[in-house]
């Protein structure tokens, strides 16, 4: 068999699977987004761009975007700062790095919904470990998930807890891949650690940092759902309602299928725009 | 010795009916062991434990009397509505019987997914009139026909600390401060006074003892899932009209705003974190002795006297809902929200509707339901006169059972429904969301309820004004029959 | 003098370094340890103020928690046994299906650069899709195909999500294996397919293993589709969790719930530790090769 034919033959099943399972639902969703369809009615009605026009006037949608963006920027930012510091320190040489790495992997591997369950009792106002610890140092009880100002930050805390190790491990791998020679040379030349970090390590780490931020950014925008679904469902009020939760409510709780599909598509577009911006920024740097 | 005769009657009737049911379902009638429906297996979609406990405990009885095998399909509280609805829509047919919150009546019955029970009720009568009118009219019937029978009748009672309310020092302090005698509140205004009176800081005294911890007046469930229910309790007595006859929202009427204003004021005397509360937080606040009173579901009554669950055994008194005093006549207008009870109904896809009817008929019968609602571990609450009139038949006994039942009676006389029109879940969610926003004081009660009205109009428009108006008219007329809607 | 100062600073920074390590581990481990501790507590110990640090009824608690966790839902338990089964069926079959589809495709990409640049764009775009935007179409599609509430339905969906990752990771691993090894086999008379199966695949085995691990983890942990597209016949482990926390008048039973959680994360963690060297690569979508 010719190699070209073989190459295509080998990739065919996979391509077909993606086409049928991945692309088709997307097209269907796009089609749906031009319809108005409220279950239990079985007949979608074509409404053209009405759903999209409604989205433009949907205040809840705008707030959800604001929250989602705030969530992404803050959590990823903090994860990066913590992870970077940790990775920098660990890269200076620590015994048992392998074991430490293994232990740090644990939060990353746990199902996010289970992570939510793990944190729920910690946040309990009366019985929670967090309030108990605050009590030990003489502070009053905090209403963790139960106030509009606290709810979203609590969810962010969970996300930071779960994904900081991820950031750290990636950046640590990055630090370890930096060749030793230029660092040693700079040290002997009397450069300060800070200067070495800024002018040697950081430029070499840029691709790794870019990837880490990109992956976390995409995931926390598109996939942050499970813990919020479990802990707040967007409440109190709509104070912790991110885009994912809003789409879930519209589409799945109340079965406004057409509008839900239009929202989904808008979200996809936003994600694409975000990524485009990200690429621009990172290439410029 | 009612049962033998009744089941004899039942099986002979079944024999007559069997011909027709045979032709309808194509199922052969099995009579080998004298049980009318031997060989029939039915799937019941019901919320998982603890809600399904009563049903599980009755499986042997159902098998013995009807010969029916029940397969329980446990569903989750949070997704039960969607899962049953999508099952109906997709015609999957997973459920022969569904046990659900009656606020879904509009979505389930209104859309034609459930079977009317009228023909079977005529064939095999049940003590229908013994079911309390509120449950019957508001939740079992739809457009004048019977579709569902109660499984669990939920309502609200006032629970208060008898020891604190009876303490001489507290009584005289209270009288001095507010000018009337301390007792379970008759009106929502008194409720606020008492809540304020009992909210105390460490170092202050309560019933002669110095407090080491905060003590609060009340605890309420303002979490997103049910915030509307605690609002409805006020709304029912302050106003009571969701929409006018043309489906124009009245949820922002002056009475409704006063009701929400009251919620906002109560909020100050609440234990910490009420916006995140679920029901068991409220329960525990009472049972762990952190509050003077709560307003909540009937299951606390059983638990309050159970030493393993309660630190306030023997100290909890019961009273019906507070109300609103008419300034002219002095009469008190009360309402008790009937939220979170469950009904049983037969799905259209059921292949053996008659057997299914017999199962829910048995489960809601005087005799069986008495056991269901009065067992220690079940999650069901009274819905029949029979339950309220016969404390001696209760399986669980506690001090004050009679007081509990008479308070229940008074509460249920003014049972007030949640919405049962199609989309009720969404209407309620909008309400909960805005109630929470008013409680956070990010907007005023008037703004919050105006917001509700706007969103309600949008939901109605989306679901079709005509259809919604028809459904609402049917609910409204039931409410009018029960005298729940003010004439203004 | 200067030597002394330097070593002081060295000791300081050393102490600081290890201090930070301890802090870091405490931060990431304590919630998990607290959860594990809950599995040997009775519910009254979990809902206790102040918190119980040394459980008093360990044997009784373990027995109760395990019994409740594993008992069928129709008997009031959490149905853990069934859910472990469902999760395992779905995760294992999904992993196998993905590998069967991905190995040839990845090989094709690695050796013949099939698809070129488009392939990469496609891979990235698959990752960007917010899953929530696919739930509705899948729901409606599955309604037509009668795939709601079935193992197959979830297996197919997870395949869509796992395939890009798997192909991408595997092609990276294949590309690292020198062409010469394979060419030697080809000259020796092997066909391409045979060379792939006999030579390249065994050499890439760690890579295949880590790819499988990630496919498995995704399917094992996935929540959104599992909860939206199933009902009662199929209930994966993540999907049972929310129901356990909203129990009306009963306290959520964290003991059994966490027992189940611990059971579900244990195999994953174990495998991850074994394959740790490659895990970073999986986590970063193959971008970082340790």
* Residues of chain B contacting residue A145, judged by C-beta atoms under 8 Å apart: 273, 276
Instruction: Determine whether the interchain pair B45/C75 forms a contact, defined as Cβ–Cβ distance below 8 Å.
Output: no
Q: Which residue of C has its CA nearest to B297?
A: C249
For range A190-197, the mean pLDDT: 84
Closest Cα in chain C to A218: C128
Subunits close to B (at least 3 CB pairs below 8 A): A, C
CA-closest candidate to residue A224, choices A105, A83, A64:
A64
Q: Which of B50, B73, B79 is closest, CB to CB, to C250?
A: B50
CA C255/CA C65 separation, integer angstroms: 6
Which tokens in the block code for residue A127? 């019985």
- Where does the pLDDT of residue B32 fall: very low under 50, low under 70, confident under 90, or very high at 90 and above? low
Non-local (6+) Cβ contacts of B214 within 8 A are: B200, B201, B202, B290
Query: Per-residue pLDDT tens for A9-43?
Result: 888 888 888 888 878 888 888 998 999 888 777 78
Q: What's the confidence (pLDDT) of residue C8?
A: 62
Residue C76, sorted as left (phi over 0), alpha (psi -120 to 50) or beta, turns out to be: left
- Compute the half-sphere exposure of residue C231: CA atoms within 13 Å on the CB side of its CA: 26
pLDDT score for A282: 74
**How much is the pLDDT for A62?**
95
Identify the pLDDT of residue C87. Answer: 95
The residues near C103 (Cβ < 8 Å, ≥ 6 apart) are C170, C196, C201, C208
pLDDT of residue B18: 38
Neighboring chain A residues of C163 at a CB cutoff of 8 Å: 14, 17-18, 22
| pLDDT (mean) for B205-215 | 91
At residue B16 the predicted structure's pLDDT band, cuts being 50, 70 and 90, is very low
The pLDDT value recorded for residue C289 is 62
Q: Which of chain B's residues have a Cβ under 8 Å away from the Cβ of A38?
A: 462-463
Percentage of chain B surpassing pLDDT 70? Answer: 93
- Measured between CA atoms, the residue of chain B closest to residue A37 is B462
Which residue from A minimizes the CA distance to B89? A40
Categorize the per-residue pLDDT at C4 as very low, low, confident or very high, splitting at 50, 70 and 90.
very low
B275-304 residues touching A, CB cutoff 8 A = 275-277, 281, 284
Long-range CB contacts for residues B18-22, cutoff 8 Å, separation at least 24: B21/B352, B21/B354
Q: Under 8 Å CB-to-CB from B103, ≥6 apart: which residues?
A: B339, B418, B419, B420, B424, B425, B428
> In the B/C pair of chains, how many CB contacts fall below 8 A?
82
Quick one: average pLDDT of A183-191?
85
Q: Averaging pLDDT over each range in A4-18, B5-19, B106-120, which range is the top one?
A: B106-120
Cis before B50 (ω within 30): yes
Chain B residues within 8 A of A238 when measuring between CB atoms: 433, 437
The Cα B170–Cα B167 span in angstroms is 5
User: Highest mean pLDDT: which of A67-71, A236-240, B295-299?
Assistant: A67-71
Q: Name which of C170, C68, C28, C40 is nearest C111 in CA terms.
A: C170
Question: Looking at residues B424-452, what average pLDDT do you find?
Answer: 94
Report the residue from B86, B89, B440 with minimal CB separation from A237. B440
Q: Which of A18-22, B34-38, C163-167 has the highest mean pLDDT?
A: C163-167
**DSSP reduced 3-state for B337:** strand
Residues 6+ away with beta carbon under 8 Å from B479: B138, B240, B417, B485
How distant is the Cα of B115 from the closest Cα of chain C, in angstroms?
22
Q: How many other C-beta atoms lie within 10 A of the C-beta of residue B30?
A: 14
> Which chains reach chain A with 3 or more Cβ–Cβ distances below 8 angstroms?
B, C
Contact C284 A212 (CB under 8 A): yes
Q: If contacts are CB pairs under 8 Å, which of residues 154-213 in chain C contact chain B?
A: none
Per-chain mean pLDDT for chain C:
84
Question: For the residues A221-229, what does the mean pLDDT come to?
Answer: 90
How high is the pLDDT of residue B30?
47
Q: Report the largest interatomic distance among the alpha carbons of chain A, rounded to a whole angstrom.
A: 77
Q: Say if residue B26's pLDDT is above 80.
A: no
Give me the pLDDT at residue C198, please.
83
- Coil vs helix vs strand at B280: helix
CB nearest to B92's CB, from C73, C148, C246: C148
Using a CB-CB cut-off of 8 Å, the residues of chain A touching C191 are 1
* pLDDT mean over C16-35: 89
- Using CB atoms, which residue from A144, A146, A254 is nearest to B426? A254
b vs e for B303-340, b when ≥16 Cβ sit within 10 Å of the residue's Cβ? Answer: bbbeeebbebbebbbbbbbbbbbeeeeeeebbbbbbbb
> What ranges in B67-183 are assigned the alpha helix state H?
80-90, 105-108, 118-123, 133, 162-165, 168-178
The nearest alpha carbon in chain A to C33 belongs to A118
Look at C245 and A92 and tell me if their CB atoms are within 8 Å. Answer: no
Which of A222-226, C11-15, C99-103, C229-233 is modeled with the greatest confidence?
A: C99-103
Average pLDDT over residues B102-117: 94
Q: Mean pLDDT check: name the lowest of A62-66, A178-182, C26-30, C52-56.
A: A178-182
Read off the pLDDT of each residue in A54-68 and give the average, rounded to a whole number.
94
Contact between residue B363 and residue B372 where contact means Cβ atoms under 8 Å apart = yes
The DSSP letter of residue B130 is G
- Residue A104 in contact with residue A165, Cβ under 8 Å? yes
CB–CB of B425 and A255 under 8 A?
A: no
CB–CB of C146/A41 below 8 Å? no
- What's the farthest any 2 CA atoms get from each other in chain B? 77
pLDDT in tens, B384-432: 999 999 999 998 888 889 999 999 999 999 999 999 999 999 999 999 9
Q: Do A251 and C136 touch (CB under 8 A)?
A: yes
Range among A57-66, A171-180, B18-27 with highest mean pLDDT value:
A57-66
3-state secondary structure of C284: coil
Q: Which of A237, A255, A256 is facing B436, going by the closest CB pair?
A: A237
The confidence score (pLDDT) of residue C182 equals 82
User: Are the Cβ atoms of C38 and A170 closer than 8 angstroms?
Assistant: no
Instruction: Measure the CA angle with vertex A39, ends A35 and A44; round to 5°.
Output: 25
Give chain A positions within 8 Å (CB) of B463.
Answer: 38
pLDDT for the residue B318:
95
B6 has pLDDT over 50: no
Give residue C288's pLDDT: 64
Per-residue pLDDT at A40 = 74
At residue B200's C-alpha, the angle toward residues B195 and B202, to 5°, is 160
Interface contact flag, B275 A236, Cβ < 8 Å: yes
Q: Which among B10, B54, B296, B317 has a CA at the least distance from the CA of B182? A: B317
Is residue B20 predicted with pLDDT exceeding 60? no
pLDDT band at C118 (very low <50, low <70, confident <90, very high): confident
d(CA B90, CA B82): 12
User: Residue B71 phi/psi, 5° resolution?
Assistant: -105, 115
Q: So what's the ipTM on this one?
A: 0.88
CB contact under 8 A, B86 and C231: yes
CB within 8 Å: A40 and B107: yes
Residue B113 clears pLDDT 80, i.e. is over it:
yes
Q: How confident is the model at residue B13 (pLDDT cuts 50, 70, 90)?
A: very low
Distances (CA, A) of A11 to A4, A127, C182, C254: 11, 55, 19, 47
Contacts of C12 (CB under 8 A, 6+ apart): none
Q: What single DSSP character describes residue B124?
A: S
What does the pLDDT read at residue A211? 84
Q: Could you say which of A7, A86, A114 has the minimum Cβ distance to residue C114?
A: A7
Q: Does B88 touch chain A (CB under 8 A)?
A: yes
Q: Are B278 and C246 in contact (CB under 8 A)?
A: yes
What is the predicted pLDDT for the residue at A80? 96
Total-model pTM: 0.89
Give dist(CA B92, CA B43) in Å, integer.
12
H or E segment to which residue B75 belongs: strand B69-75
Q: What is the mean pLDDT of residues C98-120?
A: 84
B389 sits in the region (left: phi over 0; alpha: psi -120 to 50; else beta) called: alpha
C11 in contact with B, Cβ within 8 Å: no
Residue B309 above 70 pLDDT?
yes
Which letter, b or e, does each residue of B472-481 get, where b requires 16 or more Cβ atoms within 10 Å of its Cβ?
Answer: bbbbbebbee
The contacts of residue B296 (CB under 8 Å, 6+ apart) are B156, B157, B159, B221, B279, B282, B283, B286
Q: Of B426, B360, B296, give the one whose Cα is nearest residue B68.
A: B360
Answer whether B129 touches A (CB < 8 Å).
no
Per-residue pLDDT of A109-143, as tens digits, reads 899 999 999 999 899 888 889 999 998 998 888 88
Whether C251 and chain B come into contact, CB under 8 Å, resolves to: yes
- The per-residue pLDDT for range A139-160, each reduced to its tens digit, is 888 888 988 899 999 999 999 9
Mean pLDDT over each residue of chain B, to the nearest integer: 89
Report CB contact under 8 Å: B225, C246: yes
Contact C249 B94 (CB under 8 A): no
Nearest CA in chain B to C241: B76
* pLDDT computed for residue A222 by the predictor: 87
């Amino acid at each position: 068999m010719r190699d070209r034919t073989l190459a295509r033959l080998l990739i065919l099943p996979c391509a077909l699977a993606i086409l049928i399972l991945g692309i088709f639902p997307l097209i269907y969703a796009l089609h749906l987004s031009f319809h108005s369809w409220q279950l239990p009615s079985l007949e979608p009605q074509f409404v053209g761009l009405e759903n999209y026009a409604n989205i433009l006037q949907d205040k809840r949608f705008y707030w959800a975007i604001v929250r989602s963006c705030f969530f992404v920027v803050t959590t990823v930012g903090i994860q990066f700062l913590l992870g970077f510091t940790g990775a920098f320190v660990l890269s200076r040489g620590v015994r048992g790095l392998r074991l430490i790495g293994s232990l740090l992997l644990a939060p990353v591997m746990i199902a996010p919904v289970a992570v939510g369950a793990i944190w729920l009792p910690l946040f309990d106002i009366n019985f929670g470990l967090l309030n108990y610890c605050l009590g030990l140092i003489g502070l009053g009880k905090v209403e963790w998930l139960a106030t509009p100002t606290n709810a979203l930050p609590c969810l962010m805390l969970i996300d930071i807890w779960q994904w900081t190790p991820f950031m750290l491990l990636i950046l640590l791998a990055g630090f370890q891949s930096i060749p030793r020679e230029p660092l040693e040379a700079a040290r002997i030349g009397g450069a300060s650690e800070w200067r070495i970090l800024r002018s040697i390590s950081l430029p070499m780490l840029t691709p790794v940092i870019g990837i880490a931020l990109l992956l976390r950014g995409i995931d926390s925008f598109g996939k942050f759902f499970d813990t919020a679904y479990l802990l707040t469902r967007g409440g109190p009020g709509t104070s912790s309602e991110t885009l994912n939760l809003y789409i879930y409510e519209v589409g799945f709780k109340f079965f406004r299928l057409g509008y839900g599909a239009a929202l989904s598509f808008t979200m996809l577009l936003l994600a694409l725009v975000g990524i485009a911006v990200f690429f621009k920024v990172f290439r410029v740097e | 010795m009612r049962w033998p005769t009744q089941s004899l009657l039942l099986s002979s009737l079944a024999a007559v009916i069997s011909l027709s049911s045979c032709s309808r379902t194509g199922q052969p009638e099995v009579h080998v062991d004298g049980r009318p429906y031997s060989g029939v297996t039915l799937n019941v979609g019901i919320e998982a434990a603890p809600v399904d406990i009563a049903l599980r405990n009755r499986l042997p009885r159902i098998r013995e009397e009807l010969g029916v095998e029940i397969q329980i399909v446990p569903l989750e509280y949070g997704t039960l509505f969607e899962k049953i609805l999508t099952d109906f829509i997709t015609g999957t047919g997973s459920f022969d019987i569904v046990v659900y919150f009656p606020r879904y009546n509009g979505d389930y019955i209104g859309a034609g997914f459930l079977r009317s029970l009228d023909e079977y009720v005529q064939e095999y009568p049940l003590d229908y009139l013994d079911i309390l009118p509120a449950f019957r009219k508001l939740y079992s019937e739809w457009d004048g026909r019977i579709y569902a029978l109660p499984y669990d009748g939920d309502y609200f009672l006032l629970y208060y600390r008898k020891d604190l309310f009876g303490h001489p020092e507290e009584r005289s302090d209270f009288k001095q401060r507010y000018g009337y005698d301390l007792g379970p509140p008759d009106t929502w205004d008194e409720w606020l006074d008492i809540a304020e009176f009992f909210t105390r800081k460490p170092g202050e005294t309560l019933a002669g003892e110095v407090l080491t911890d905060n003590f609060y007046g009340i605890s309420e469930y303002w979490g997103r899932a049910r915030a509307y229910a605690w609002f409805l309790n006020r709304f029912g007595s302050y106003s009571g009209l969701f929409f006018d006859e043309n489906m124009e929202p009245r949820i922002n009427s002056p009475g409704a705003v006063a009701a929400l204003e009251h919620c906002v004021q109560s909020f100050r005397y609440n234990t910490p974190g009420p916006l995140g509360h679920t029901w068991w937080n409220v329960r525990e606040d009472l049972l762990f002795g952190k509050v003077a009173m709560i307003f909540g579901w009937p299951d606390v009554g059983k638990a309050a006297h159970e030493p393993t669950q309660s630190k306030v055994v023997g100290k909890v008194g019961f009273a019906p809902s507070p109300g609103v005093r008419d300034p002219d006549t002095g009469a008190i207008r009360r309402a008790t929200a009937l939220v979170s009870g469950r009904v049983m109904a037969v799905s259209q896809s059921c292949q053996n509707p008659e057997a299914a009817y017999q199962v829910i008929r048995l489960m809601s019968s005087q005799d069986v339901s008495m056991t269901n609602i009065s067992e220690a571990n079940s999650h069901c609450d009274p819905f029949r006169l029979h339950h309220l009139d016969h404390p001696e038949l209760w399986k669980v006994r506690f001090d004050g059972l009679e007081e509990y039942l008479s308070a229940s009676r008074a509460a249920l006389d003014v049972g007030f429904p949640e919405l049962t029109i199609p989309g009720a879940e969404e209407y309620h969610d909008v309400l909960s969301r805005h109630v929470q926003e008013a409680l956070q004081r990010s907007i005023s009660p008037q703004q919050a309820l105006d917001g509700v009205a706007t969103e309600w109009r949008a939901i109605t428009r989306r679901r079709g004004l005509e259809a919604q108006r028809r459904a609402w008219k049917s609910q409204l007329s039931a409410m009018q029959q029960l005298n729940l809607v003010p004439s203004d | 003098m200067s030597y002394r100062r330097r070593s002081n600073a060295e000791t300081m920074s050393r102490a600081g370094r290890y201090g930070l390590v301890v802090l870091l581990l405490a931060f990431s481990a304590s919630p998990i340890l607290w959860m594990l501790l809950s599995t040997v507590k009775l519910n009254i110990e979990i809902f206790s103020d102040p918190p119980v640090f040394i459980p008093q009824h360990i044997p009784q608690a373990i027995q109760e928690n395990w019994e409740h966790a594993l008992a069928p839902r129709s008997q009031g338990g959490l149905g853990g046994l069934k859910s472990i089964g469902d999760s395992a069926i779905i995760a294992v079959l999904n992993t196998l299906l993905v590998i069967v589809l991905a190995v040839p495709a990845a090989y094709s990409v690695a050796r013949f650069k099939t698809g070129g640049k488009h392939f990469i764009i496609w891979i990235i775009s698959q990752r960007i899709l917010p899953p929530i935007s696919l739930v509705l179409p899948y729901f409606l599609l599955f309604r037509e195909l009668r795939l709601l509430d079935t193992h197959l339905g979830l297996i197919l969906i997870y395949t869509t999500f796992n395939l890009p990752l798997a192909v991408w990771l595997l092609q990276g691993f294949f590309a690292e294996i020198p062409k010469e090894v394979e060419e030697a086999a080809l000259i020796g008379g092997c066909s391409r397919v045979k060379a792939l199966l006999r030579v390249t695949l065994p050499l890439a085995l760690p890579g295949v293993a880590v790819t499988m691990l990630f496919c498995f983890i995704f399917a094992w942990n996935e929540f959104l589709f599992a909860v939206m597209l199933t009902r009662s016949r199929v209930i994966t482990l993540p999907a049972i969790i929310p129901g356990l926390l909203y129990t009306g008048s009963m306290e959520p039973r964290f003991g059994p719930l966490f027992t189940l959680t611990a059971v579900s994360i244990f195999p994953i963690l174990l495998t991850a530790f074994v394959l740790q060297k490659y895990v970073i690569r999986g986590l970063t979508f193959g971008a970082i090769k340790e």
